[in-house]
Structures are given as C-alpha cells and as structure tokens.
Amino acid sequence: MSKLVNTHEFLIYCSAKLAEEKNAWLAWAADQKRMSPKTLDAYERDVRQFLMHLTGHVGEPADVKHVADLKPLDMRGFMARRREAGAEARTLGRGLAGIRSFIRFLEKKGMANSAGLAATRSPKQPKTLPKALPASQAMKLTKPQEHLSETPWIAARDAAVMTLLYGCGLRIGEALSLTPNIIKSASTGSIRVTGKGGVTRLVPVLPQVVEAVENYLKLCPYVMEGDDILFRGAKGGKLQPAIVQKTMRVLRGALGLPDSATPHALRHSFATHLLAGGGDLRTIQELLGHASLSTTQIYTSVDTSRLMDIYEKAHPRA
C-alpha cells in the first residue's frame, strides 16, 4: 500500500480534516480498488499538488468546504499552471483521474459534489506506443549472449527474462515476480501470472520458454525453492527492472538493434505478431491481462493490409 501522508506535514496547505479524509481515501483505494503502489503514489502526489494550488487560490489551507463543489474553471486553472510547469498530457490526465477519485470518495460520504469534475474534459492523449520489433530481432534477444558477460549464468538469466517477455507477453514486473513453484506449473502448458491490481491470469508457455528458464536454473549458483524469487541479481537479491533495462541497452548496441528495442517492446511484439498471425483481439486481451478491449485495440495496432485481408476472407460480398 502507498505510504500515507504525515498529517502534520499536510497542515501547511490542507486542514487536519481534509488530510484525514485524504489518508482514508488512499487506504480505501489500496484495499477496495486494489490500486498498485505506484498508482497510489502518483495519485497522492497529484492531489497534493492540487490542494497546494487551491490553498494559494483561496488564501488559506484548503478544507473540505473548498473541494465540496469544484467547478470546471477550478480544474482548468490548475491544469494550466501544471502545463506551464512542463507537465505533459499523460501527466495531466492521470492527475485529473486522481483528483476525480478523491472527490468521488468524498461524495459517497456526502461531503462533496463531483459534477463539476465530471464536466471537465481530460487532455487529449498522444497515441505513442513502443514499436514492435521484427520477429528476427526479437529472437536475437532470446539467445544467451555469453560473449557479453563474464558469467554464463547471468547470460542465461537475461535470455530467460527476454524469452518470457516475448514468448508470454509479460510485463517486466510480472516476469521478475515469478517463483520456482509457478515455473513448475509450466509442465501443464501454462503459468498463472499476477498482473496489475493483483488480477491473475493463465498464460500459455511455449517449450522454448521452459527450456530457457531451465537452462538458467541449471547454471544459477543460488538455490531456489517453492516461493523464492526466481530471477536473481549478481549478489543473490531480487533482480531489479533497472538491471533488465540496462541489459537491453547493452544488447541493442551489441546486436545492432534500434532504440525502439526495449523490454516493453518485446511484450508489444508478442501481441502484434500474434495478431498478424491470425490471433483475435479478445484472446490477445486475455493473454496481456488488459481490463478492456479498447486498450488492446490501441496497443496492438493493426495495419490496413491486415484489415483488408480479413475483410476479403470474411465478408460475404467481398
């Protein structure tokens, strides 16, 4: 759960009552909405910045009465100030979502009206996604690169992680949270992965993925059992995402890959290549762990030729 804000620190720009309600909202969002710690931290920061803005506007520490009936003009002023400070559309959109969540929480307790926020338009978001890698480039990243590491087990580890990202479409955090017990279940042809919001899903596992992980386990000097963390750092601790990112930068240079070759691009490549091979969006949505199909539609961009091919094969008048 996200760290709650110290009430005494908050009194500078917020009343004790509003600070109490804000902490209650964060606890509710963690327990009832199952928001991730990173999302909670971002929402807390956004709401804090808004209350600081509101304090400067009203000339006193913001109180419940000041947020009870916010108008679109109040939000436009705040977002204009954030934009001047360099905040981009995604940051502004996330900030508005956090503030809406807080005000709706107060509304359920009869302390605020969220109608003004509902009438506030979110900034138009840019449709920028990591580019899918060609299959040949993605496959290069799944091969152990012993010549780039003095330690064979680390080269095998890196290859196993990349194979999971591309072969199963996992997020970095999902791959690095796997345990030996979860990998043992791959003998059934699938593994259970815990994604965003603590939601679990079954993901099919290819024999090549199992082989890459088993090769890593055979070479790894650390004993791992049961629910231990599977992927280890050089000193035996949990492998961190930053190390995977750094490894990818080294691999890009060594293999002559473009800057678009990132760990997340392997997940995107997984979905894009499945779609190009005839996979349907609903299935890909389940494999990626997306809550809504619209996210999958944006994430797995379909080219015009692919759409026309489907049309010509499926439409009775084509």
Q: Which of 232, 267, 268, 273 is catalytic?
A: 267
Active site residue 306: no
Distance CA 14, CA 17 (A): 8
Q: Which of 171, 232, 268, 273 is catalytic?
A: 171
Query: In terms of C-beta density within 10 A (0-12 exposed, 13-18 middle, 19 or more buried), how is residue 253 classed?
Result: exposed
Residue at 43: amino acid letter:
Y
Task: Let me know how long the chain is.
Answer: 318
Residue 128 CB: number of other CB atoms within 10 A? 7
Active site residue 273: no
Residue 158 CB: number of other CB atoms within 10 A? 25
CA dihedral 194, 196, 202, 206 (to 10 degrees): -90
Residue 187 CB: number of other CB atoms within 10 A? 10
Q: How many CA atoms lie within 13 A of 73 on its CB side?
A: 2
Helix, strand, coil: what percent of the chain each, to 5?
A: 60, 5, 35
Active site residue 299: yes
Q: Which of 81, 131, 196, 252 is catalytic?
A: 196
What are the distances in angstroms from CA 20 to CA 5, 28, 155, 163, 274? 9, 12, 50, 46, 48
What are the distances in angstroms from CA 81 to CA 88, 92, 156, 251? 12, 11, 49, 41
Residue 39 CB: number of other CB atoms within 10 A? 20
Active site residue 171: yes
Q: Residue 2 carries which DSSP code? A: P
Paired tokens of 93: 């959109």
Active site residue 66: no
Planar angle of CA 274, 279, 281, nearest 5 degrees: 105
Paired tokens of 215: 């090769």
Paired tokens of 91: 């940051």
Q: Which of 13, 166, 216, 299 is catalytic?
A: 299
Active site residue 264: yes
Distance CA 205, CA 293 (A): 23
Known catalytic residues are 171, 196, 264, 267, 290, 299
